């Protein structure tokens, strides 16, 4: 199966075809309307978690991105050094990360990032580290 996926990926690159979320080993699909994340690994649903996305007046952009970089013990340079454990940055300053505001999960509460329970953020972070940034997609839908 990995050989077939590798061949498909190589073919897509060779002909210049865009890589889709489905081509990734890990896909973290965020549904802003339900404030949930569904994590797929190898095309199969592995986890469903509550998230918090942007509160009123803020924006969590929708779209599809590859993970760009990881920061295990990140602190926000924009929001009073706020803790952002297990950050997976995917679009500029936007990241999926853990939060200490667990009671707010399941409803909009962030400045734009995607917040998770810290234990769930750790699981996704470790999956991403194991499978690789290029094999992880963050998909945000309204």
Active site (catalytic) residues: 97, 113
At a CB cut-off of 8 Å and minimum separation 6, what does 141 contact?
A: 29, 30, 31, 32, 33, 62
CA atoms within 13 A on the CB side of 98: 20
What are the respective helix, strand and coil percentages of the chain, to the nearest 5? 25, 40, 35
Tell me which residue of 107, 113, 116 sits closest to 48, measured CA to CA. Answer: 116
Helices (H) and strands (E) in the chain, counts: 2, 9
How does DSSP classify residue 22? G
Closest by alpha carbon to 36, among 98, 121, 114, 97? 114
């Amino acid at each position: 199966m990995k050989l077939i996926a590798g061949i498909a990926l190589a073919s897509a690159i060779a002909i210049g075809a865009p890589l889709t979320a489905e081509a990734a080993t890990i896909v973290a699909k965020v549904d802003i309307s339900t404030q949930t994340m569904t994590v797929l690994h190898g095309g199969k649903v592995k986890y469903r978690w509550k998230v918090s996305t942007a509160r009123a007046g803020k924006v969590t952009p929708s779209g599809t991105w590859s993970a760009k970089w990881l920061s295990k013990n990140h602190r926000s340079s924009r929001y009073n050094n706020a803790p952002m454990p297990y950050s997976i940055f995917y679009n500029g300053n936007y990241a999926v990360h853990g939060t200490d505001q667990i009671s707010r999960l399941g409803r909009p509460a962030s400045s734009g990032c995607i917040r998770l329970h810290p234990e769930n953020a750790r699981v996704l972070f470790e999956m991403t580290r194991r499978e690789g940034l290029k094999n992880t997609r963050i998909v945000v839908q309204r």
